[in-house]
Amino acid sequence: MQHVRGVVARAQGEPVSVETVVVPDPGPGEAVVRVQACGVCHTDLHYREGGVNDEFPFLLGHEAAGVVESVGPGVTEVGPGDFVVLNWRAVCGQCRACLRGRPWYCFDTHNARQRMTLLDGTELTPALGIGAFAEKTLVAAGQCTKVDPAARPEVAGLLGCGVMAGIGAAVNTAGVGRGDSVAVIGCGGVGGAAVAGSRLAGAGRIIAVDLDDRKLDGARGLGATHTVNAANTDPVEAVRALTGGFGADVVIDAVGTPSTYEQAFRARDLAGTVVLVGVPTPGTRLELPLAEVFGRGGALKSSWYGDCLPSRDFPVLIDLHLQGRLDLEAFVSETIPLDGVEKAFATMRGGDVLRSVVLL
């Protein structure tokens, strides 16, 4: 075992603190990773606020890249020295989804078996089974995906969560194809990535919708061909007007409220696809005219982690980035030290950044 520094949320709503974390040596199927960079995601704040579950204390951080330091018995897929992006869906290979050849839906993803603890032995719950606001973390070896080490860690790590969720919502879940029209509602880290993914997939028209002009400017840089500020323009009418009066082939809701979902539903062309990637608050309800759900045809889909398969998607997206075809740098708004996470939560709430990234 070894002692490292990590960002811990001890109790609901209380500021996070940097604490000493005890990291066990890796057991069978596990790996210890020296974290180099980890992005600050809304889900980390959600954990701190008790919005995910009440298994405090949490070791936060889950959008990370680093170098494998050591692996436990039986681990063959990665070894010491490998540059990896951490993922929160290590697929099992044995559940009904995996056995049917659809491992990106795996219903039994796994994490390290051993627990990291505080010095007094209190077990920590790592955020999304990762816990990477720490100098080192213990994960299941399957949570480590090798990528080209030429990529900068602060950029590569972002694929571990929000950026992958957005790109995958467009590319994997919606299946955006050449010439499709796409509208993305909410252009933060996730929606911005959906814009970038749509461009990568060859979309013809990419309409970015947000309430904040700064986000719309960012979306233009990522590939949006048109922008709509929904604070002063009806987004459904605007998307229709930009698509010959019909609506977009694909509308991605990267906010996740009943009102944005309804906008997505109504801004879509006949036989079009709606993808929900924003995470709704528990308890919210949706009301839609069922006759239109039927009559408009097409598909209403949800996207978990962009329906990604880390082993398939991370390496190729890093390669596309290194070739200059996918601007991942644009998502890194600032880099911060380990003790800057609490401040980064406030910055995130103010809407000032796509991502603050902790550098270790």
Ligand X SMILES: NC(=O)c1ccc[n+]([C@@H]2O[C@H](COP(=O)([O-])OP(=O)(O)OC[C@H]3O[C@@H](n4cnc5c(N)ncnc54)[C@H](O)[C@@H]3O)[C@@H](O)[C@H]2O)c1
- Where does this chain bind ligand X (CB under 6 A)? 42-43, 161-162, 165, 185-191, 209-212, 215, 230, 254-256, 260, 277-279, 303-305, 351
Does 41 contact Zn ion by CB under 5 A? yes
* Among 22-30, 70-78, 94-102, 286-294, the segment contacting Zn ion (CB under 5 A): 94-102
* Among 26-34, 67-75, 84-92, 170-178, the segment contacting Zn ion (CB under 5 A): 84-92
In angstroms, give the least distance from the CB of 280 to ligand X.
8
Residue nearer to ligand X on the CB measure, 43 or 273: 43
In angstroms, give the least distance from the CB of 3 to ligand X.
31
Closest CA to 310 of 113, 167, 214, 194: 167
Q: How far, in Å, CA of 43 to CA of 52, rounded?
A: 8
Contacts (Cβ under 8 Å, ≥6 apart) of 244: none
* Among 43-51, 171-179, 299-307, 351-359, the segment contacting Zn ion (CB under 5 A): 43-51
Residue nearer to ligand X on the CB measure, 137 or 333: 333
Instruction: Count CA atoms within 13 Å of residue 53 on its CB side.
Output: 8
Q: Which does 212 bind (CB under 5 to 8 A by kind): ligand X, Zn ion, none?
A: ligand X
Q: Cβ of 290: how many Cβ atoms within 10 Å?
A: 8
Residue nearer to Zn ion on the CB measure, 142 or 247: 142
The β-bridge relationship of strands 17-23 and 2-9 is antiparallel
114 CB-contact burial (10 Å; exposed 0-12 / middle 13-18 / buried 19+):
middle
Residue nearer to ligand X on the CB measure, 42 or 136: 42
Q: Cβ of 287: how many Cβ atoms within 10 Å?
A: 7
Q: Which does 135 bind (CB under 5 to 8 A by kind): ligand X, Zn ion, none?
A: none
Would you put residue 305 in left (φ > 0), alpha (ψ -120 to 50) or beta? left
Supply 327's token pair. 């601007």
Residue nearer to ligand X on the CB measure, 29 or 218: 218
- Residue numbers at the binding site for Zn ion (CB under 5 A): 41, 43, 92, 95, 98, 106, 108, 161
